[in-house]
Amino acid sequence: MTDLELQQREAVIAEARRWLKTPYEHRQHLLGVGVDCAWLLIEVYHSVGLLPWIDPGAYAQDWHLHRSKELYLSWLEEYGHQVESPQPGDVAIWQFGRTYSHGAVVVDEHRVIHSFLAIGVEVADMREERLASRPVRYYTLDSFGGSDGGRWR
């Protein structure tokens, strides 16, 4: 891992930590006021310059229960690729319902920062029942380590 990539990953985690204790609010993305898990990832990675501004459009809070289309995975695959062993700053995504529909920022081998329904943005242990009992995938952004890190700000 290059020094630049290490700095970018540290910046991702620092930005995610700024969102801690923000309440969960579906389709919202205002620091300290409300954010869901999709918007948390968009705001964090865009703020550190690793993603362009993305508008995921309208989506129902329970879309993952009634649809089979992998919306979240398609977003991730546009800007990154799946990895077996996540590094700090990568994305973890769990299957809830029919699809992979709950994302988080990886902090270390056991912890993530995510926005969870009725809890808000928190540091969570991936070994907890609510996460450990579900299929999970990990993604890393293709923009990590790029010399143009920050181009999306």
Task: Choose among 81, 133, 131: nearest CA to 111.
Answer: 131
The CATH number assigned to the domain holding 61 equals 3.90.1720.10
pLDDT in tens, 23-74: 999 888 999 999 999 999 999 999 999 999 888 776 656 655 556 677 789 8
Would you say residue 74 lies in a domain? yes
Answer whether residue 150 is part of any domain. no
pLDDT tens per residue, range 81-138: 999 999 999 999 999 988 999 999 999 999 999 999 999 999 999 999 999 999 999 9
Please report which helix (H) or strand (E) contains residue 5, including its range.
Answer: helix 3-18
Please check whether residue 147 lies inside any domain of the structure: no
The number of domains in the chain is 1
- Tell me, yes or no, whether 148 lies in a domain: no
Asked if residue 93 is part of any domain, the answer here is: yes
Reported pTM: 0.90
Please compute, for residue 143, the number of CA atoms within 13 A of its CA located in the half-sphere on the CB side. Answer: 21
Q: Which domain holds residue 67?
A: 3-141
Tell me, yes or no, whether 88 lies in a domain: yes
Terminal CA-to-CA distance of the chain, rounded, Å?
23
